[in-house]
Structure 1
Amino acid sequence: MPRLKLMLPEGADFTTRLDVRVTDLNYGNHLANQALLGMLHEARLRFLTHLNHTELGNTTQPGIILADVEIQFRREAFLGDQLNITLFVDQLSHIGFDLYYRVSHAIDQTEIALAKTSIVFFDYHTTRKRAPAPASFEHALKELKEKNEKIREQ
């Protein structure tokens, strides 16, 4: 059976740290798949907040909605493990973008999982339909990428 193979872009736009909680464990006593999806959601929310945007948007700015998700599990994570979740935006278009995630142990950088979500801008407040990417999001993302590039060059 062919396995999913995610190819993550180089670099990082944002990194956050989350702890594996007891409620994140499954019957195998390791990080559960639905809990990992929740952690990706939390990391995405922190990333959007960093860019001064929200998932739900408001009356003047669209939010986002997930179109699909892919997750490739690499290793187990256990109760108390601190995980770094690194995000990278790719394929920004007039209606959405792909968001890649690398989940790794904070201590030794061992990869736990790779993931990708396809995100579409969405108007939750009036039309409840797909919406164009807000210029403010594109501007904030461009500034973030330029800042991160300068840091990598140092």
Structure 2
Amino acid sequence: MARIKIELPSQFIYQTEIPVRITDLNYGGHMGNDVLLSMLHEARMQWFASLGYPSEVAIEGVGVIMTDAALVYKAETFYGETLQIHLALTDFNKYGFDVVYKIMGKQSAKEIAHAKTGLVFFDYSARKISPIPPPFLQKVKD
């Protein structure tokens, strides 16, 4: 089976820290793989909030919807670690873009994972994709 490879950009536009909670551990005693996607969602929400958007469904009159996700694990992480989640935007098109993440352990200094989520803008009232709103594009391109 071919391995997924996620190309990391040279620069990231946003960083946040999220602690690994005791409830994030699985039966193996390390953070569960399902938890990482939730942490990426939290990091993405914090980034949207930093741009003045309180919700992923309230971005210049439309919202975003995830079209795909890829996760590549590099190391285990455990309770007590704080994850540093770095976020970058790539592959813009008419309707959306990819968010690329680098996840590092703050205390361990280990590279924990790389990830990518594809987002498209979505008009939730019409239930269809929508072009990227120009005011949003201007905020993220500056």
TM-score (norm 2): 0.94
The aligned counterpart of 2:51 is 51
**Can you list the C-alpha shifts for 1:47-72, whole angstroms capped at 9, x where unaligned?**
111122231126x5111000000000
**Can you list the C-alpha shifts for 1:106-148, whole angstroms capped at 9, x where unaligned?**
1353110000001000111x201101111121111022xxxxx
Letter of the 2:96 counterpart: G
Tell me the number of residue pairs that the alignment of Structure 1 and Structure 2 aligns.
Answer: 141
Letter of the 1:112 counterpart: I
Q: Secondary structure at the match of 1:42?
A: helix
Q: Which runs of 4+ in 1 moved over 2 A?
A: none
Q: Which structure carries more strand by proportion?
A: 2
5+ residue gaps, structure 1? 144-154
| Distance (Å, rounded) in 2 between the aligned partners of 1:73 and 1:104 | 11
5+ residue gaps, structure 2? none
Identity across aligned pairs (percent)?
A: 40
| Distance (Å, rounded) in 2 between the aligned partners of 1:68 and 1:112 | 20
The answer to whether the 8 Å contact 2:81/2:108 transfers is: no
Q: How big is the alpha-carbon RMSD for the aligned residues of Structure 1 and Structure 2?
A: 1.3
Q: Does residue 75 of the first structure (1) align with residue 75 of the second (2)?
A: yes
Q: Which structure carries more helix by proportion?
A: 1
Letter of the 1:42 counterpart: E
The answer to whether the 8 Å contact 1:70/1:117 transfers is: yes
